[in-house]
Amino acid sequence: MKRRRLGQHYLADEVAVRRVVELAAIKPSERVLEIGTGKGVLTKELAGRGSALVGYEVDSENFEDTKEAVRGTGVAIRLGSAFDARPEFDVLVSSLPYSESATFVEWLSAMTFDRAVVVLQDDFVRKLLAPPGDREYRGISALAQIAFGIKVVDRIARASFSPQPRVNSVIVSIVSKRRLPECEVANVVRLFSLRRRQVGSALGKLRMGHTGAFGQRRVFELTPEEVHELCLCGRA
């Protein structure tokens, strides 16, 4: 039950796994990264694609299972968090624990890469795609829309996971638009901690400048590009 609480639901259906890899369209010259290898089912399907594959797993039991699944393939499996290691890669393919989704988006926005194909919780993706002014529009929404082009490309049945989650899942295509410096990521998070305040009031409290230019508008009404402009490093 501990792993269920942590959001670890392993993608086990071979058809779904092949679909994720197919959508990644990995070229022979590309470096591939997998975050959260689980039992190694997706890792095994990724092996042999691209110029190199590195997988990260924080659970020691899963780490050993994945190493066994890809033994002899040349895949590099690391015990630890990719969020701390900050590896270099061109394509990311992952079905990571849903509890790590927000951390993943913040981390990815500060990375240099081409694209990612990721399995995420459906309601989290709706939050990522929410427009300004929507009740689901949060700092993570603005951050994702500043840094990425995001598209839902397919859905995955709950029965494709073990254990079966209580939520719906989707496959998401993420294309990098711009790499954000970590200070900008932090500024977006800070600004949206005051999401219901009028923009001028929030900026004044955070000492981020531009306090008189937005009238009665509130932080959650700002477009992603306006958030980007306000949160550029050096504003805080």
Rounded CA separation 194/216 (Å): 14
pLDDT value at residue 210? 67
CATH topology of domain 2-179: Rossmann fold (3.40.50)
Residue 221: CB atoms within 10 Å: 17
pLDDT value at residue 208? 86
Mean of all residue pLDDT scores within the chain: 94
35-67 confidence digits (pLDDT tens): 999 999 999 999 999 999 999 999 999 999 999
Beta bridge pairs of residue 91? 32, 115
Residue 5's pLDDT band (cuts 50, 70, 90): very low
Task: Check pLDDT > 70 for residue 4.
Answer: no
Across the range 127-144, mean pLDDT stands at 98
Rounded CA separation 27/92 (Å): 12
Residue 74: CB atoms within 10 Å: 9
Task: Check pLDDT > 90 for residue 6.
Answer: no
pLDDT value at residue 213? 80
Beta bridge pairs of residue 173? 117, 151
CA atoms within 13 A on the CB side of 124: 22
Our separate counts of H helices and E strands in the chain read 11, 9
pLDDT value at residue 3? 39
111-130 confidence digits (pLDDT tens): 999 999 999 999 999 999 99
The CATH 3.40.50.150 portion of the chain extends over 2-179
205-221 confidence digits (pLDDT tens): 998 876 678 889 999 99
pLDDT value at residue 236? 47
Across the range 144-164, mean pLDDT stands at 97
192-207 confidence digits (pLDDT tens): 999 999 999 999 999 8
In the DSSP assignment, the letter for residue 123 is: H
Torsion of CA 169, 170, 175, 176, to 10 degrees: -10
